[in-house]
Amino acid sequence: MSRILNGIKVIDFTEGHMGSYGTMILADFGAEVIKIEDAKTGGDVIRSRAPKNEKGSAYHAYLNRGKKSVCVDRHTDEGRKIILDLIAEADVVCDCFPAGELERCGLGYEAACKVKPDIIYTSHTGFGKSGPLSNTAGSNLTAEAVTGLLDVTGHDGSVPTTHGSRIADQFGNLFFVIGIVGALLVRDETGEGQVVDVASCDSMFTALEDILIEELMTGKIYIREGNASRSIAPYDTFEVKDGYVSTAVSTNAQWEKFCEVMGFPEYADDPRFNSNDNRGENYDEILFHIINDRFKDMTRDEIENLLRPLNIPSGPTLTVEEAIGSEQINHRNMVVELTDAALGTLKMPGMNIKLSGEPDEPAASAPLLGGDTFDILSMAGYSQEEIRTLQAKGIVKDAGGEK
């Protein structure tokens, strides 16, 4: 079945998480994503990253599913020529390196434009390709730290706390894909390519959302609130008999329903709680304890069964194990099974963008290191003799050895 990015060819220099999740999405939707890897360094660093076993990395199998791998030394003249030959037939180039890395190899935007004038040249880096930090390596933790996200996460009085997952890189990857697809649409309209520059740092700065807007508008310094909200109350996580449950009451209409079903209708019109502002002002000292006392003798399911029919957001705080087995996650096909070239049968997260005209399964498994070198170079016009000569020099490597 055709996928929406069939016919789009991507030359992919990304490594690790940064950029790789974005190019995985492109591959899921049918783009031909060709990873450029260096056999001398073991290829993409994520090939050796946990979780893994003696056969390979499950993390690599996930983030690089559906891609192809070409092993070529970009630091040599012959390797550079090979890559430029591949770029000449491509639509998009992707990288995750600090500013200047590919330029030093003679593979920057200007060099790419000479062989493909309408190329879309894209990057997902820690700090972007400009600014005082652009030539330094970034990380998810660094992006959370320098944008203030660490400082606003956790409870009042706690130390700055990182998010439980790599949210900066994940956010950046999604904006990375949006930028690429947008640039492809512009190219279709104008015939011109362009540079797409996405930074995890920028992405985390926008993720501050209303915290950032309020400080820009009023200068008010945000104080960590844990799981609660400054603008909505109750919006929190409460302990119950069998764990924790979250609930969010956003409107006065929801508040009235919440009070009725929870057995304290007298609070619906109480002047301390009859608006979001009033509920927020009286939340920590009064309202939290009212709700907490009611919830502590109930189970997660009992609360959800009361609130869900009223369309009041509520949900149990599941463990990762519980989430993997949950009816909602599995109904949405968010746990899929693939046969990976290195690891065999493997479960991993599914596709979280659902399109009615698209398959709901990843396109293929992740590649072996250099597993497509021979085939890709052959299609690019290199003869078998030329490829064998390049192999003998150590310029390229094929996972299957000489053919």
Catalytically active residues, by annotation: 169
Compute the distance between CA of residue 38 and CA of residue 13 in angstroms, rounded to an integer.
10
Kindly list the distances between the CA atom of residue 294 and the CA atoms of 145, 250, 289, in Å, as whole numbers in the listed order: 37, 19, 8
Query: What secondary structure letter does DSSP report for 160?
Result: P
CA torsion sign for 90, 91, 96, 102 is positive
Compute the distance between CA of residue 337 and CA of residue 256 in angstroms, rounded to an integer.
45
Compute the distance between CA of residue 218 and CA of residue 81 in angstroms, rounded to an integer.
55
Compute the distance between CA of residue 224 and CA of residue 226 in angstroms, rounded to an integer.
6
Q: Which two tokens stand for residue 357?
A: 């005209």
Q: What are phi and psi of 389, to 5 degrees?
A: -65, -45
HSE-up of 169 (CA within 13 Å, CB side)?
A: 20
HSE-up of 289 (CA within 13 Å, CB side)?
A: 4
Q: Which two tokens stand for residue 179?
A: 């930028």
Compute the distance between CA of residue 116 and CA of residue 153 in angstroms, rounded to an integer.
45
Compute the distance between CA of residue 298 and CA of residue 247 in angstroms, rounded to an integer.
14
What is the DSSP track for 190-232? HS---EEEEEHHHHHHHHTTHHHHHHHHH-PPP---TT--SSS
β-strand partners of 246: 237, 315
Q: Which two tokens stand for residue 399?
A: 């996972």
